[in-house]
Amino acid sequence: MDKNKNWVLKPTAPDSFRIQFREYPDLILNLAWQRGLNTQELLDEFFRPDYNIALHNPFLFKDMEKATQRVKRALDNKEKIIVFGDYDADGTCGTVILTTLLKDLGADVISYLPDRFEEGHGLTEISIAEIKRLKANLVITVDCGVTENWEIAELNEAGIDTIVTDHHLAKDKLPPAVAIIDAKVIGETYPFQWLCGTGVAFKFVQAMLRLSHAGQLAVNLPLGYEKKFLDIVAIATVADSVPLIGENRTLLIFGLPMISRTERLGLRAMLLKAGISGESDLDAETVAFSIAPRINAASRLEHANIAFALLTTEDQEEADRLAQDLEDKNQERQKMVTRIVKEAEEKLAELNDIPSAIVLHDEKWSLGVIGIVANKLLEQWKRPIFLFNEKNNLLRGSARCPEGFDVVEAMRNCGEELFVESGGHARAAGAAIKKENFDIFKERFEKYTQDNFVPVEPTQSIDLLLSAKDINWEFWDWLKKMAPYGEENRMPYFMLENLEVVELKEVGKKTEHLQMKLFAHEGGKLLKGILFKAARLPEVRLGSNLHCIIELIADSWNGHRDLKLKIIDWRVLGIMPADIKDEYSENIYNYE
């Protein structure tokens, strides 16, 4: 916890806004206004999304008509189709969706997920050779392709058409594909830019469903066919950290309940291994920290085909075996990350000064987990991080960057000729560089960062200042209506002032957490709080007077519910004066 952070209280809604929407509590209106929900339409979409209205027409993608007609031709002519996806959870889930769709439409289709370690991201010489060997007529990419110009040109030369479905940033020149379905392409007409790769694949399903219902396809898919994919759309949307607003929020609200009710044998087996037993256990945080890492463990340690098989198997014995395999791999992945973080920190300790960008490489570092390690180093060092694995004179790496720094633009400024491949998002990207070019890249990347990255003073945003009386179940129920929480819709942080510590207890298996009872003298209310991984703090003791930034959490045990304060940050103002303590002592010590 960074105790040097400045606390910044966000502005609250104007009186005119609160008067206009009296049906909402003032506190909730403040949170809504901070999120840009300033019209009746936006408020309704956020709090009461309608599945049929909130999801946009898939043919608003300018190339969707061309894409669906090319697939129709492939179906009519019984052409061989390859669905080529990225190897992460997003690409894998999207590949499952399109492969399943095409099989249900009677297509001659196979899936292709590249080997992270041998092939790398996207289309490569290895995958192109394999696609040619398989005698494919049409390739449909998932979660990749929009930056792969020469690769798609080479497929064209071999008489193989390509449809790109992607959500990454494009280069100035687009690849020569039959159609490009990517809302981030300049000039695109689709109204929502933030779908993940699987979300784009889902829109493709919706589009093909319209063709089916219009009688343009030989197979008539049932009404609502696309809803069977909502479980893995929800998983991929959270896993890929896209903003949980607009269409993504709608997909998640309707998709999260589908996970606990999934008919996928492998996913059910995985949930059982992860100790997730029902709908009440399942929220976006559960997906982010329990489900997505297990799916990603497949490609991080071995091959994404394991996760693909898990999500498509119809055999219970195989489902149980695959779920156990990913459980084991996820535990191994956690140990690997801990080790590499330590090794990276040792390398940094050898430097006289920490540069404006941290660029490190090691042939022993697993390519499958260096992105996670980069994220952990970013949390600590608050500057661009680029970590590389070295193998056969090729360095493959993952970058993670602070808000305000565009790593894709940084790579372009380093010179595209340095890269074997590169791409991604503004704050998370990847690249492959020949060893002979690595020192040049590192020098240019550090120079670009030095010239363009302006470190910001660490701050902690606070959504609202609360009083103790605001902490109640009615407020909690409204906060639940604002879920799912994630990117661009974070769980709100609140501030409470002048809380006296009246009880302290170290808890947890290693007594690493600090449980406390806090008395709010304004209102005379006792609150329960917990500080995770913060036991044995010398500055916090009985009688301490605290200002706290908190997240509200609910505990359920043995039929009893408790609202608690999850303490995010705090300031010690001193020891509460004795005359004030005496005034409220009866309230404090009669508490159970």
Residues 482, 582, single domain; the answer is: yes
Write the DSSP symbol of residue 281.
Answer: G
Task: With beta carbons less than 8 A apart as the criterion, state whether 260 and 278 touch.
Answer: yes
- Comparing C-alpha atoms, which of 163, 105, 114 is closest to residue 137? 163
In this prediction, residue 508 has a pLDDT band, given cuts at 50, 70 and 90, of confident
Specify the higher pLDDT residue, 506 or 374. 374
pLDDT above 80 for 280: no
What does the alpha-carbon distance between residue 365 and residue 565 come to, in Å, rounded to a whole number? Answer: 39
Instruction: Give the pair of three-digit tokens for residue 127.
Output: 């995958």
| pLDDT mean over 25-42 | 96
Residue 93's nearest CA partner among 163, 165, 146 is 165
Q: Which amino acid is at 243?
A: P
Helices H / strands E in the chain, number of each: 21, 18
- Who's near 87: CB < 8 A, 6+ residues apart? 113, 114, 115, 116, 121, 299, 303, 304
CA–chain centroid gap for 359, Å, is 24
Give the C-alpha separation, 513 to 20, whole Å.
Answer: 44
pLDDT, tens only, 166-188: 999 998 899 999 999 999 999 99
CATH number at residue 408: 3.10.310.30
Please give the pLDDT value at position 586: 41
| Helix (H) / strand (E) containing 437 | helix 435-452
User: Which residue did the predictor score with more confidence, 280 or 239?
Assistant: 239
Residue 82 scores a pLDDT above 90: yes
| CA dihedral sign, ordered 352, 388, 410, 402 | negative
Given a cut of 70, whether residue 350 has pLDDT beyond it is: yes
Assess if residue 36 is contained within a domain: no
Structure tokens at 182: 């990517």
Q: Which residues have a Cβ under 8 Å from the Cβ of 74 and sit 6 or more positions away?
A: 81, 107, 137, 138
Token pair recorded at residue 13: 């809604």
pLDDT in tens, 365-399: 999 999 999 999 999 999 999 999 999 899 999 99
What is the tens place of the pLDDT at every residue in 239-277? 999 999 999 999 999 999 999 999 999 999 999 999 998
Task: Kindly state the tokens that stand for 175.
Answer: 């690849």
Mean local confidence (pLDDT), 341-346: 96
pLDDT surpasses 90 at 478: yes
Residues 80 and 212 in one domain: yes
pLDDT given at position 578: 52
CATH number at residue 149: 3.90.1640.30
The CATH number assigned to the domain holding 538 equals 2.40.50.460
User: pLDDT tens digits, residue range 183-232?
Assistant: 999 999 999 999 999 999 999 999 999 999 999 999 999 999 999 999 99
Q: Residues 143, 88: contact at Cβ < 8 Å?
A: yes
226 and 133, same structural domain? yes
**Is there a single domain that holds both residue 496 and residue 578?**
yes
Specify the number of domains making up the chain.
Answer: 3
Q: Are residues 122 and 139 in the same domain?
A: yes
Residue 471 sits at the vertex; the CA angle it makes with 4 and 248, to the nearest 5 degrees, is 75
Least confident of 289-298, 462-471, 557-566: 557-566
pLDDT at 277: 81
Indicate whether 100 and 231 sit together in one domain.
Answer: yes
For 137-277, list the strands marked E by DSSP. 138-142, 161-165, 179-181
| Strand 6-9 with 459-462, pairing | parallel
Per-residue DSSP letter, 23:
T
* pLDDT, tens digit (0-9, with 9 covering 90-100), for 305-327: 999 999 999 999 999 999 999 99
Is residue 12, in this structure, part of any structural domain at all? no
Beta bridge partners of residue 109, listed in sequence order: 81
Q: Sorting pLDDT into bands at 50, 70 and 90, what band is 86?
A: very high
Domain boundary among 417, 452, 487: 452
**Residue 131 per-residue DSSP state:** H
Is 70 a domain residue?
yes
Write out the residue range of the structural domain in which residue 535 sits. 460-589
Average pLDDT over residues 114-129: 93
Whether a cis peptide bond, with omega within 30° of 0, leads into 222 is no
Total-model pTM: 0.90
Q: Establish if 494 belongs to a structural domain.
A: yes
Please check whether residue 42 lies inside any domain of the structure. Answer: no
Nearest to 443 by CA among 490, 421, 410, 488: 410
Place of tokens 């009440």: 280
Q: Is 198 exposed, middle or buried (0-12, 13-18, 19+ CB in 10 A)?
A: buried
What are 158's two structure tokens? 């071999």
Banded pLDDT at 536 (limits 50, 70, 90) = low
Based on C-alpha coordinates, what's the Rg of the chain?
A: 26
- Report residue 589's pLDDT band, with 50, 70 and 90 as the boundaries: very low
Same domain membership, residue 482 and residue 572:
yes
For position 184, what pLDDT does the model report? 96
Same domain, 138 and 76: yes
Most confident of the following: 527-536, 545-554, 559-568: 545-554
For 304, the enclosing helix (H) or strand (E) is none
pLDDT tier, 558 (very low <50, low <70, confident <90, very high otherwise)? confident
Same domain, 274 and 185: yes
| 29 occurs within a structural domain | no
**Of the candidates 388, 422, 452, which is a domain's last residue?**
452
In three-state form (DSSP H/G/I as H, E/B as E, the rest C), the secondary structure along 155-172 is: HHHCCCEEEEECCCCCCC
Dmax (CA) for the chain in angstroms is: 88
CB 493 within 8 A of CB 568: yes
Which of these ranges, 139-143, 160-164, 451-455, has the smallest mean pLDDT?
Answer: 451-455
If you average pLDDT over each of 304-318, 515-529, 552-566, which comes out highest? Answer: 304-318
Give domain status of residue 34, yes or no: no
Contact 309, 92 (CB under 8 A): no
DSSP string for residues in 177-191: -SEEE-TTSTT---S
Whether 113 and 247 map to the same domain: the answer is: yes
What pLDDT band is residue 415 in, cutting at 50, 70 and 90?
A: very high
The tokens describing 261, both together, are 């009710």
Residue where a domain stops, chosen among 436, 452, 468: 452
Give the closest residue to 285 by CA, choosing from 252, 312, 316: 252
For the chain, give the percent of residues with pLDDT over 90.
Answer: 84
Please give the average per-residue pLDDT across 542-547, as a whole number: 90
Q: Does 503 lie in the same domain as 417? A: no
Determine whether 450 is exposed, middle or buried from the number of CB atoms within 10 Å of its CB (0-12, 13-18, 19+). exposed
In a domain, 423, yes or no: yes
Q: Quickly state the pLDDT bin for 577 (edges 50, 70, 90).
A: low
Report the candidate in 61, 27, 26, 24 with the shortest Cα–Cα distance to residue 46.
24
**Spatial CA neighbour of 30 closest among 43, 14, 12:** 12
The pLDDT tens digits of the residues spanning 60-80 come to 999 999 999 999 999 999 999
Average per-residue pLDDT for the chain? 93
Q: What is the DSSP letter of 14?
A: P
442 lies in the same domain as 464: no
Give the pLDDT of residue 3. 60
Confidence of residue 281 (pLDDT cuts 50, 70, 90): confident
- What is the spatial distance between Cα 385 and Cα 382, in angstroms, rounded to a whole number? 9
Residue 47 in this model has a pLDDT that exceeds 70? yes
